[in-house]
Amino acid sequence: MEGPAFYEAMGGLVEKDGVEKVKNFKKFKELMPYLKVLARSRPEDKYLLVTGLRQMGEVVAVTGDGTNDAPALKKADVGFAMGKTGTDVCKDAADILITDDNFSSIVKAAMWGRNVYDNIQRFLQFQLTVNVGALIITFIGSVITKETPLKPIQLLWVNLIMDSLGALALATELPKPELLERNP
Amino acid sequence: MTKHILFQALWQCCVLFMFLFAGEFLIPESDPYLMFDRPTGYVYPGRLNEWNGEPLYEKYINKLGPSRHYTFIFTSFVLMQIFNMICCRKIHDEYNIFDNMHKNPMFIIIWFVVIGGQVLITTFGSLVF
């Protein structure tokens, strides 16, 4: 499908309560499963496509290198710009720069991003468990027996385990390909 | 995540409170000298005073340092954290918590370092731990 014809069929964008929406959203939804390539598209057409897809509840990533991609890059959830060949305008509009101009880097970026996020979650889960456990035991134990069941120096050792060693152990997990099978 | 934290903490509290309040009926003691005036075969309670206020471990704390009872509680607490660390590797409810572990040597090394450290400080740090 060609860009201008696509724009024509969708009837352009309408603004409602400060949120831009596709005018013929029903038609857009019908067309989406069949749309593979949008040729000769102008900046407006790209922008419309991204807006419509986000309106459908999809997570949209856009790659681009020219000035005309900038609005779509800005509108997308994640905008990737080419670092070597891209213009300054599109680099400014993008969230992530692909410095080696290689599309497979996007996959790597997604994998590492999810991995870092997971590692932080792992560490948080561990640390919060230790904290909650130690807190309850120390508090209730002290109240009932009138002395501390866990001595301060023992709690220091527990802290050493969970802060430095726990962070090292849980946050050095490497990414694995299964991470890519998850939904965004 | 909240589910894991809460139930893991609840489990740890249950175990530790059991050892704290019923340790003298549960934890066996092999050294007859350390049973003092209570030759029951179980560990001498680490509480300074009996529930009615009579001195209990207070009589021995200056001579022997912290009681075996409380060292036991401390060690079980640390060991529970260590095994909790393995469980924390999986945060999306996967079944196999050991999956991919061999690819992370740092984790395995730290795991054994912590266990070794725990053994060392409880064996040789007797007056403090």
Of A125, A161, A169, the CB nearest to B5: A125
Sort out which chain A residues have CB atoms less than 8 A from B80's CB and list them: 133
Specify the pLDDT at position A184.
67
Domain count, chain B: 1
Q: What is the pLDDT of residue B115?
A: 92
CB contact under 8 A, A169 and B81: no
- How confident is the prediction for chain A on average, in pLDDT? 85
Q: Which of A46, A67, A102 is the last residue of a domain?
A: A102
Q: Chain A contacts of B88, Cβ < 8 Å?
A: 122-123, 125-126, 129, 170
Q: How far apart are CA A147 and CA A141, in angstroms?
A: 7
Q: Would the pLDDT of B70 be above 70? A: yes
Higher pLDDT, B41 or A55: A55
Asked if pLDDT for residue A80 goes beyond 70, the answer is yes
CATH number at residue A15: 3.40.50.1000
Residue A160: closest C-alpha in chain B:
B114
Which of A68, A83, A102 is a domain's end point? A102
Beta bridge partners, B42, equal B28
What tens digit of pLDDT does each residue of B86-119 get? 888 888 888 888 887 888 888 899 999 999 999 9
Our count of domains for chain A comes to 2
List the structure tokens of A179. 């991470």
Residue carrying the six token digits 């309670």: B45
Of residues A124 and A83, more confidence is placed in A124
Q: Which two tokens stand for residue A162?
A: 């969970």
B129 falls within a domain: no
Task: For chain B, list residues whose CB is within 8 angstroms of any CB belonging to chain A.
Answer: 1, 4-6, 8-9, 12-13, 16-17, 20-21, 47-49, 66, 70, 73-74, 77-78, 80-82, 84-85, 88-89, 91, 100, 103-104, 106-107, 110-111, 113-114, 117-118, 121, 128-129
Q: What H or E segment, with its residue span, contains residue A22?
A: strand A19-22
Residue-level pLDDT at A17 = 72
Rounded CA-CA distance A82/A62 in Å is 11
- Reported residue count of chain B is 129
Place of tokens 């932080």: A120
Strand intervals (E) in chain B: none
Is the distance from CB of B129 to CB of B66 less than 8 angstroms?
Answer: yes
Q: Which range marks the domain in which residue A34 is found?
A: 3-102
Quick check: ipTM above 0.90? no
B16 found inside a domain:
yes
Whether residue A46 sits in one domain with residue A129: no
Residues A149 and A123 in one domain: yes
Per CB-CB distance under 8 Å, the chain B contacts of A120 are: none
Same domain, A47 and A90: yes
Task: For the full predicted model, state whether its pTM sits above 0.95.
Answer: no
CB B70 within 8 A of CB A148: no
Predicted confidence at residue A151, as pLDDT, reads: 84
A120, A127, A135, A157, best to mutate vs chain B, most B CBs in 10 Å: A157
**Is A112 in the same domain as A95?**
no
Domain stop point among A102, A124, A146: A102
pLDDT score for A87: 86
On whether both A19 and A83 belong to a single domain, the answer is yes
Helical H runs in chain A? Answer: 3-10, 25-31, 43-55, 70-75, 88-93, 104-145, 152-160, 166-171
Residues A68 and A141 in one domain: no
Kindly give, in sequence order, each residue whose CB lies less than 8 Å from that of residue B55, ignoring residues fewer than 6 positions away: B48, B49
Cβ contact A22:A8 at 8 Å:
no
- The pLDDT score that the predictor gives to residue B11 is 92
What is the domain extent for residue B86?
2-124
* % of chain B at pLDDT higher than 70: 90
- Average pLDDT for residues A21-34, to the nearest whole number? 82
Distance CA A141, CA A10 (A): 68
